[in-house]
Amino acid sequence: MVWIALAALVLLLAVGVWIFNSLVRLRNQVRAAWADIDVQLLRRHDLVPRLVDAAQAYAAHERALFDSVAALRAQAIATTSPARLAELEAQLERSLLQVFALQEAYPALKASENFLQLQRDLVEVEDHLQYARRFYNGAVRDYNDAVQRVPAVFIARPLGFTDAEFFMADAAARIAPVVEVTP
Protein backbone atom coordinates (compact mmCIF):
# COMPACT_ATOMS: atom_id res chain seq x y z
CA MET A 1 0.00 0.00 0.00
CA VAL A 2 2.87 2.39 0.81
CA TRP A 3 4.46 1.59 -2.55
CA ILE A 4 1.27 2.46 -4.41
CA ALA A 5 0.97 5.77 -2.57
CA LEU A 6 4.66 6.53 -3.22
CA ALA A 7 4.29 5.62 -6.92
CA ALA A 8 1.19 7.86 -7.20
CA LEU A 9 3.07 10.71 -5.53
CA VAL A 10 6.05 10.29 -7.89
CA LEU A 11 3.69 10.18 -10.88
CA LEU A 12 1.87 13.30 -9.68
CA LEU A 13 5.18 15.08 -9.16
CA ALA A 14 6.38 14.04 -12.64
CA VAL A 15 3.17 15.35 -14.22
CA GLY A 16 3.56 18.60 -12.26
CA VAL A 17 7.15 19.03 -13.45
CA TRP A 18 6.12 18.29 -17.05
CA ILE A 19 3.29 20.86 -16.86
CA PHE A 20 5.57 23.44 -15.26
CA ASN A 21 8.23 22.93 -17.94
CA SER A 22 5.62 23.23 -20.68
CA LEU A 23 4.37 26.50 -19.23
CA VAL A 24 7.90 27.86 -18.98
CA ARG A 25 8.56 26.92 -22.62
CA LEU A 26 5.36 28.62 -23.78
CA ARG A 27 6.02 31.73 -21.67
CA ASN A 28 9.52 31.96 -23.14
CA GLN A 29 8.07 31.58 -26.64
CA VAL A 30 5.76 34.55 -25.94
CA ARG A 31 8.73 36.58 -24.69
CA ALA A 32 10.80 35.66 -27.75
CA ALA A 33 7.91 36.56 -30.05
CA TRP A 34 7.55 39.92 -28.29
CA ALA A 35 11.28 40.48 -28.74
CA ASP A 36 10.82 39.88 -32.49
CA ILE A 37 8.12 42.55 -32.59
CA ASP A 38 10.36 44.85 -30.58
CA VAL A 39 13.20 44.40 -33.09
CA GLN A 40 10.92 45.27 -36.00
CA LEU A 41 9.49 48.27 -34.16
CA LEU A 42 13.02 49.51 -33.45
CA ARG A 43 13.82 49.17 -37.15
CA ARG A 44 10.68 51.16 -37.94
CA HIS A 45 11.46 53.75 -35.30
CA ASP A 46 14.96 54.15 -36.73
CA LEU A 47 13.55 54.74 -40.23
CA VAL A 48 10.90 57.25 -39.17
CA PRO A 49 13.24 60.18 -38.37
CA ARG A 50 15.16 59.65 -41.61
CA LEU A 51 11.91 59.58 -43.57
CA VAL A 52 10.65 62.71 -41.83
CA ASP A 53 13.97 64.50 -42.42
CA ALA A 54 13.82 63.66 -46.12
CA ALA A 55 10.24 64.90 -46.40
CA GLN A 56 10.88 68.03 -44.29
CA ALA A 57 13.41 69.26 -46.78
CA TYR A 58 10.64 69.49 -49.36
CA ALA A 59 7.63 70.35 -47.22
CA ALA A 60 8.73 72.74 -44.51
CA HIS A 61 5.20 74.03 -43.83
CA GLU A 62 3.94 70.55 -42.81
CA ARG A 63 5.51 71.06 -39.37
CA ALA A 64 2.51 69.83 -37.34
CA LEU A 65 2.55 66.49 -39.14
CA PHE A 66 6.28 66.01 -38.56
CA ASP A 67 5.96 66.98 -34.89
CA SER A 68 3.10 64.49 -34.50
CA VAL A 69 5.14 61.68 -36.07
CA ALA A 70 8.10 62.46 -33.80
CA ALA A 71 5.90 62.54 -30.68
CA LEU A 72 4.19 59.25 -31.56
CA ARG A 73 7.56 57.62 -32.21
CA ALA A 74 8.85 58.75 -28.80
CA GLN A 75 5.73 57.45 -27.04
CA ALA A 76 5.93 54.12 -28.86
CA ILE A 77 9.57 53.65 -27.92
CA ALA A 78 8.74 54.25 -24.24
CA THR A 79 5.70 51.94 -24.14
CA THR A 80 5.90 48.31 -22.99
CA SER A 81 2.22 47.31 -22.89
CA PRO A 82 1.21 45.41 -26.06
CA ALA A 83 -2.28 46.93 -26.00
CA ARG A 84 -1.06 50.53 -25.63
CA LEU A 85 1.75 49.96 -28.11
CA ALA A 86 -0.70 48.63 -30.70
CA GLU A 87 -2.75 51.82 -30.32
CA LEU A 88 0.31 54.07 -30.70
CA GLU A 89 1.64 52.10 -33.64
CA ALA A 90 -1.73 52.41 -35.41
CA GLN A 91 -1.60 56.19 -34.93
CA LEU A 92 1.99 56.24 -36.17
CA GLU A 93 1.03 54.24 -39.27
CA ARG A 94 -1.75 56.74 -40.07
CA SER A 95 0.70 59.64 -39.68
CA LEU A 96 3.24 57.91 -41.90
CA LEU A 97 0.58 57.52 -44.58
CA GLN A 98 0.22 61.29 -44.51
CA VAL A 99 3.98 61.68 -44.88
CA PHE A 100 3.89 59.36 -47.90
CA ALA A 101 1.02 61.37 -49.34
CA LEU A 102 3.26 64.46 -49.36
CA GLN A 103 5.12 63.06 -52.33
CA GLU A 104 2.05 63.70 -54.47
CA ALA A 105 2.13 67.38 -53.57
CA TYR A 106 5.90 67.68 -53.96
CA PRO A 107 7.20 66.16 -57.22
CA ALA A 108 10.82 66.68 -56.16
CA LEU A 109 10.17 64.55 -53.09
CA LYS A 110 8.56 61.89 -55.27
CA ALA A 111 11.72 61.83 -57.39
CA SER A 112 14.09 61.70 -54.41
CA GLU A 113 15.90 58.36 -54.43
CA ASN A 114 16.63 58.69 -50.71
CA PHE A 115 12.92 59.14 -49.91
CA LEU A 116 11.93 56.26 -52.20
CA GLN A 117 14.53 53.95 -50.60
CA LEU A 118 13.32 54.87 -47.13
CA GLN A 119 9.77 54.17 -48.27
CA ARG A 120 10.80 50.72 -49.58
CA ASP A 121 12.67 49.98 -46.34
CA LEU A 122 9.62 50.95 -44.31
CA VAL A 123 7.37 48.70 -46.41
CA GLU A 124 9.79 45.82 -45.80
CA VAL A 125 9.77 46.49 -42.06
CA GLU A 126 5.96 46.59 -42.09
CA ASP A 127 5.87 43.17 -43.77
CA HIS A 128 8.21 41.72 -41.14
CA LEU A 129 6.25 43.43 -38.40
CA GLN A 130 2.97 41.96 -39.62
CA TYR A 131 4.49 38.46 -39.54
CA ALA A 132 6.00 39.06 -36.08
CA ARG A 133 2.62 40.24 -34.74
CA ARG A 134 0.87 37.14 -36.06
CA PHE A 135 3.55 34.90 -34.56
CA TYR A 136 3.36 36.73 -31.23
CA ASN A 137 -0.43 36.46 -31.06
CA GLY A 138 -0.20 32.73 -31.89
CA ALA A 139 2.33 32.26 -29.09
CA VAL A 140 0.10 34.21 -26.69
CA ARG A 141 -2.89 32.08 -27.68
CA ASP A 142 -0.99 28.84 -27.04
CA TYR A 143 0.38 30.12 -23.74
CA ASN A 144 -2.98 31.44 -22.51
CA ASP A 145 -4.65 28.16 -23.47
CA ALA A 146 -2.06 26.23 -21.49
CA VAL A 147 -2.32 28.51 -18.44
CA GLN A 148 -6.11 28.26 -18.37
CA ARG A 149 -6.50 24.50 -18.89
CA VAL A 150 -7.06 21.94 -16.15
CA PRO A 151 -4.85 20.57 -14.60
CA ALA A 152 -2.23 23.17 -15.56
CA VAL A 153 -4.26 25.98 -14.00
CA PHE A 154 -3.63 24.45 -10.56
CA ILE A 155 0.11 24.79 -11.15
CA ALA A 156 0.12 27.96 -13.25
CA ARG A 157 -1.78 30.33 -10.96
CA PRO A 158 0.09 29.59 -7.73
CA LEU A 159 3.43 29.84 -9.52
CA GLY A 160 2.66 33.22 -11.09
CA PHE A 161 1.85 32.24 -14.67
CA THR A 162 -0.73 34.80 -15.77
CA ASP A 163 -2.42 35.46 -19.09
CA ALA A 164 -0.40 37.39 -21.64
CA GLU A 165 -1.77 40.35 -23.61
CA PHE A 166 -2.53 40.03 -27.30
CA PHE A 167 -1.17 42.64 -29.68
CA MET A 168 -4.40 44.09 -31.05
CA ALA A 169 -5.04 47.06 -33.26
CA ASP A 170 -7.23 49.76 -31.82
CA ALA A 171 -10.67 50.41 -33.28
CA ALA A 172 -9.45 53.41 -35.28
CA ALA A 173 -6.86 51.24 -37.05
CA ARG A 174 -9.64 49.11 -38.50
CA ILE A 175 -11.03 52.10 -40.40
CA ALA A 176 -9.36 52.98 -43.67
CA PRO A 177 -7.50 56.27 -43.24
CA VAL A 178 -8.40 59.32 -45.28
CA VAL A 179 -5.34 61.18 -46.47
CA GLU A 180 -5.71 64.79 -47.45
CA VAL A 181 -2.87 66.75 -48.98
CA THR A 182 -3.07 70.46 -49.53
CA PRO A 183 -0.32 71.97 -51.69
In a domain, 173, yes or no: no
In a domain, 43, yes or no: yes
pLDDT tens, 48-96? 888 877 777 666 657 777 788 888 888 888 888 887 888 888 888 888 8
Q: Which residues span the domain enclosing 25?
A: 2-165
In a domain, 172, yes or no: no
pLDDT tens, 102-125? 777 777 776 677 778 888 888 888
Kindly list the distances between the CA atom of residue 182 and the CA atoms of 99, 122, 179, in Å, as whole numbers in the listed order: 12, 24, 10
Q: How many domains does the chain have?
A: 1
In a domain, 178, yes or no: no
Q: Give yes or no for a cis peptide into 151 (omega within 30° of 0).
A: yes
In a domain, 99, yes or no: yes
In a domain, 109, yes or no: yes
CATH number at residue 38: 1.20.1440.20
Q: Measure CA 175 to chain center.
A: 19
pTM of the model: 0.69
In a domain, 38, yes or no: yes
In a domain, 177, yes or no: no
Own/partner contacts of 105-111, CB < 8 Å, gap of 24 or more, are 105/59, 105/181, 105/182, 105/183, 106/58, 106/59, 108/58, 109/54, 109/55, 109/57, 109/58, 109/59
pLDDT score for 174 = 46
